[in-house]
Amino acid sequence: MTALSLKNVNKSFGDVHVLKDINLDVDEGEFVVFVGPSGCGKSTLLRVIAGLEDATSGEIRIGGDVVNLTPPSKRGIAMVFQSYALYPHLNVRGNMTLALKQEGQSKSVIEERVQKASRMLNLEPYLERYPSELSGGQRQRVAIGRAIVREPELFLFDEPLSNLDAALRMNTRIEIAALHKQLGASMIYVTHDQTEAMTLADKIVVLRDGRVEQFGSPMELYNNPANQFVAGFLGSPSMNFFPAGLVSEGDDRTMGVRPEDLFIAEDGLLSARVSHVEKLGGDTNVIARLNDHQITARLFGQHSVEEGEELRLSFNPQSAYHFDQQGARLY
Amino acid sequence: MNKARSNPLNTAMMHGALIVYTLIALFPVFVILINSFKERRSIFREPLALPNSESFSTIGYETVMQQGDFFLYFQNSMIVTVASLFFVLLFGAMAAYALSEYRFKGNMLMGLYLALGIMIPIRIGTVAILEMMVATGLVNTLWALILVYTAQGLPLAVFILSEFMRQVSDDLKNAGRIDGLSEYTIFFRLVLPLVRPAMATVAVFNMIPIWNDLWFPLILAPAEETKTLTLGSQVFIGQFVTDWNAVLSALSMAILPVLVLYVIFSRQLIRGITSGAVK
């Protein structure tokens, strides 16, 4: 059964067409990540699904029911916001129970769900505290707890990790993945961070300028990008693009090679001058100038490459991607 | 810690400046207070001297208590001020919320229209207001004053509050919507507490002119039972003879409630700033 289905959803703010003909089906229990550069409409799409914005046209179904005219609280969703959005005048327990009280749940049900959620998120010692007395990570967990207690059909996450520091972000990412397994609920997650997208998602939706560029599993998108934009967006460091003419004379297409597919070879096709070296211990990222193009090579292990050095790089022709002038994938 | 801030010389100078300013601001109040406890001759002979055993007298307060219904005036002023502030804050906040939160046609125009009142003094319309009050039979009632003061305070209130409401996190309001709170609950329970400092500012801005106003009480409600304190004190100021003892005593007493209200609002101001917001 599909948890969420969007049919030809459009959204305009005045003359600005923000979402263009979005079609999407999310299966029950799937973790779907919307990813794209800022301003691509991913947050707007989430808000349309939540009912915080009305779609200009198109049909939104959650759990089989058309919900275009249903208010957000009756859609069977729960949302976790980027800024946590905890109610400052309520303590943690109050924040978590407010929605259930509004739904008119009985006291015993509320108590049981709060118990369960706070145990899951290790929030038990903080139930009587106010948001201003919690750390960033704790507030994030309260925000997630507030969503869990509602036992929704669909969880919506709006860039929930972007306010956390790097170490905490990694931990919370793992916690969210564990939570998804534990709850088995469908989740939609918006982020601009492709690492979060790759690590969490069952399916990724890449958006650009209000259009779906590609929809598929992380490895499908990584191995088989539909166009130059998707190829460049997923993967870190991102894919190198250069004119294919540099490799074979008279070719006017664009060639894409992932940094991890480049290696140093005496008889390499590409000759580049090293402009910067990032030594990470496990890998070495070499940033070099190839004519007017910057290319990055990710070399495994530690290498003694110096700035200003002239390097010859090579790659397996099978691992290269070809794009036409409009950025569409050729093969 | 910031070095410039912890520098003792800087701190001393800052406090020095603030203390000097406080003294300047309090000086007139001080002069009124000490002279209200002196007999008439010493007021003129040595206006800055403290009352001593020779010049001490409570004649001014006695006159005020005997002449005119002073407590009634007091009560009238209080009712008018508090009710006007309540309506200014309530309607001002509601209008500001609508303007800042909802997109509708003419939103900008409506905002400008409401802010226009900041530039146009309400007293220009006194004659028309008086005619309206006569037509509706509100002359010589406290409602006449409350309505006029509410209208007078709204433009600035809407202007200031809508700026502050724009800063209230959208996520918080949306979280409320998803949790099933009504728009009214979101407004009263989530947004208003967060703009409390701005509300206190608006209240303080509006309170003093309303309390001190002589113009509208004189025109709209000069009857004995609706006189405000400012208007009531005028009986002691004559064309030829002014009972300075009584005037100063009346003014001293008029300062008190304003002080109390101010303390209440400024506490709100501080509490609003320190309460935990979104992040």
The Cα-based distances of A248 to A231, A269, A270 in angstroms read 22, 9, 11
Shortest distance between the Cα of B193 and any Cα of chain A, in A, equals 8
How many other β-carbons are positioned within 10 Å of the β-carbon of residue A155? 24
Whether residues A52 and B169 touch (CB distance < 8 A) is answered with no
Q: How large is the ipTM? A: 0.83
A-chain residues near B183 (CB < 8 A): none
- List, by residue range, all CATH 1.10.3720.10 domains of chain B: 67-274
Looking at the predicted structure, is the pLDDT value of residue B276 above 60?
no
**Spatial distance between the Cα atoms of A205 and A218, rounded to a whole number of angstroms:** 9
Say what the pLDDT of residue B36 is: 87
The phi and psi torsions of A237 (rounded to 5 degrees) equal: -60, 160
Q: Is B150 exposed, middle or buried (0-12, 13-18, 19+ CB in 10 A)?
A: buried
Whether residues B178 and A99 touch (CB distance < 8 A) is answered with yes
Whether residues B278 and A84 touch (CB distance < 8 A) is answered with yes
Please, which pLDDT band fits residue B163 given cuts at 50, 70 and 90? Answer: confident
Structure tokens at B169: 């996190």
Please, which pLDDT band fits residue A246 given cuts at 50, 70 and 90? Answer: confident
- Nearest chain A residue to B174, by CA: A52
The CATH architecture of the domain made up of B67-274 is: Orthogonal Bundle (1.10)
Looking at the predicted structure, is the pLDDT value of residue B222 above 50?
yes
Whether residues B171 and A77 touch (CB distance < 8 A) is answered with no
Among the partner residues A52, A82, A89, nearest to B177 by beta-carbon distance? A52
Shortest distance between the Cα of A140 and any Cα of chain B, in A, equals 10
Looking at the predicted structure, is the pLDDT value of residue A247 above 90?
no
Shortest distance between the Cα of A174 and any Cα of chain B, in A, equals 23
- Nearest chain B residue to A82, by CA: B171
The Cα-based distances of A182 to A104, A121, A141 in angstroms read 26, 12, 16
pLDDT tens for A76-98 read 999 999 888 999 889 999 999 99
Domains, chain A: 2-231 (3.40.50.300), 238-323 (2.40.50.140)
Structure tokens at A317: 């022709």
Shortest distance between the Cα of B276 and any Cα of chain A, in A, equals 5
pLDDT tens for A180-227 read 999 989 999 999 888 899 999 999 999 999 999 999 999 999 999 999
Say what the pLDDT of residue A298 is: 92
B171 touches chain A (CB under 8 A): yes
Q: Which of A83-87, B44-48, B89-93 has the lowest mean pLDDT?
A: B44-48
Please, which pLDDT band fits residue B59 given cuts at 50, 70 and 90? Answer: confident
Looking at the predicted structure, is the pLDDT value of residue B181 above 70?
yes
Please, which pLDDT band fits residue B277 given cuts at 50, 70 and 90? Answer: very low
- Nearest chain A residue to B192, by CA: A89
